[in-house]
Structure 1
Amino acid sequence: MESLIHIVLLCFLLLTVFAIVRMHDLFAIVMLLSIYGFLCASFFMVMDAVDVAFTEAAVGIGISTLLLLSALTLTGRFEKKQRHKPLLAVFSVAITASLLIYGTLQMPPFGSAYAPAHQHIATHYITQSFGETGIINIVTSVLASYRGYDTLGELIVIFTAGMGVLVLLRGTTSPAKDSAIKDSAIKGKRVTSKQPAPMKQHAILRIVSKMLIPLILLFALYVQFHADFGPGGGFQAGVIFASVIILYVMIFGLRATQKTISLAWLEFLAALGVLIFGSVGLLSLLFGENFLDYNMLSSDPVQAQHLGIFVVEIGVGITVAATIILIFMTFTGRMANRGEQQ
């Protein structure tokens, strides 16, 4: 039965991909990408990867969809028709696929118990993780302790990508459209907007959001500090926390949100999370230990590991949440400045 579910989900994924490739309506493509994220989250759930599933649900279905829709307001709905060279594209895909398949021929079968990773590394994690780190959840101990250096690299990638997006958003303008708006204002013409009324005018949305926001924030804290015992951690908690702020921006507007937290503070927090993570590693070096070796935090090695994982996970959550919120608020502010929102 489980294999049948896998096959059905994979078939839906392929159909969604083909539909995305064939369409030229960018709005429909964004909606299909949201459906693709939902199918991926369902697939992860079937494979018992719960933490990855609700991260995909928050990012792939929620935040990514909002960012893409925001981008559409700055571009246009329909793709410009261009002449493509399908034979060259098919040839490139075929060559790439052939190389990938050739590279996997020497690999052990998928899920094989005799794979090299399962003979030493995985066995050590399963049997020794709790005794060495005091963390019940093996995934958390691997990501934040055994593979902490790699996780720091992932966090730096997120921070760098976020800063790159901000540079692009703040460094590009639309002179033609801005000039048209200014000319209309000079001539005394009223610039009208086809955007719907702000959602804060709807009492039901305001009341329901005020009821949901505290609960979602509480769940984000639960995910952040419950990673020792179940699916969760800084990446998942940061995404959930960011979704709360994005919901607040959508309902109450950007100006109301900036009264609580400004873009400058978000930039500071995005860098602070990386600094917290990296500082733990530098502190290890100062005490003569290996980079990101938490033993210097306490005389008890298990307690030291537990405390180190706790601190670095907080850094991850801060950077992830701040980066996502910063990107969305920059998108929203850009549209507001051009008279397309609020």
Structure 2
Amino acid sequence: MRRLPPLSAVRAFEAAARTENFTAAAAELGLTQAAVSYQVKALEERMGAALFVREKGRARLTPLGQRLLPTLSQAFDSIEAAFASHKAEDESLLTITTTHTFANTWLAWRLGGFQMVHTDLAVRMITSNEAVDLRSGEADVAIRAGLGEWPGLEAHKLMESNFTPMASPECVAKFERDLGRKLAPADLPNLPLIGPQDEWWTRWFRDAGVPLDSHRPYGGIRLDSQANEGHAAMAGQGFALLTPFLWRGDVASGRLVQPFELTATGGYAYWLAYPPERRMVPKVKRFREWLLVAIKQAEAGEEFETYA
């Protein structure tokens, strides 16, 4: 176990000894002159020897004080350098954790625009659906779907996480040819559904007024994320419940079709979250401002642009 004197007293002594002035030391440390004098006196009492010879307007070091100063100043320089190195590294790298779905369908396509504007920042994106401890340094910010209730975190709502069936144009065309008419919601329980046991299918059918008592969907493909379900739908493997906002590019390019205007919701949304004490950290502030503008622009159906 280290047997060190109180570091506050050592720090007060080092500042007073370096500046040879208790008033200057107090200004540097954000203390009163009386507080500096008290800390130095406490250190002298602990050591059983004087460190200063008090003179008017100047604090002259005793031989013991002269011997201690270089070593202590070097130690504080090393501590300062260690923290400065961490701060420089921390300020130069932004780490974002988000879900596989949000990363693959939206953020990865646009994140380069943020970095092109903020060329001084390196940006790292981690995709995970698991909870991440933002205070431990695993990431700076998180983008997650939920109700926005994460204790100890500040959360900004990005968009609603609603959902509706989507499929490839070829898949929709085939079934409409077979039916000889446009698809209706009541047709879907008898068609290939991706993740048919997902509770959100029940919610969407209920909102669409489709009873499931006599023909609940069984079988079908089960995948672990909306991103994978969307790609399976594009491959023609059936209808997937997807969030329209995240798949606008694929709809616009003709890879997916949204047959019905009706969307349902479980009350969830996508949120940007981070510890409140990190709110004004420059890299967090810059990313938050960029992301909120980019989301609003995408919701308005505008082409994506970069923002300073």
TM-score by length of 1: 0.19
Larger fraction in strand: 2
TM-score by length of 2: 0.21
- In our comparison, the structure showing a higher alpha carbon Rg is 2
Larger fraction in helix: 1
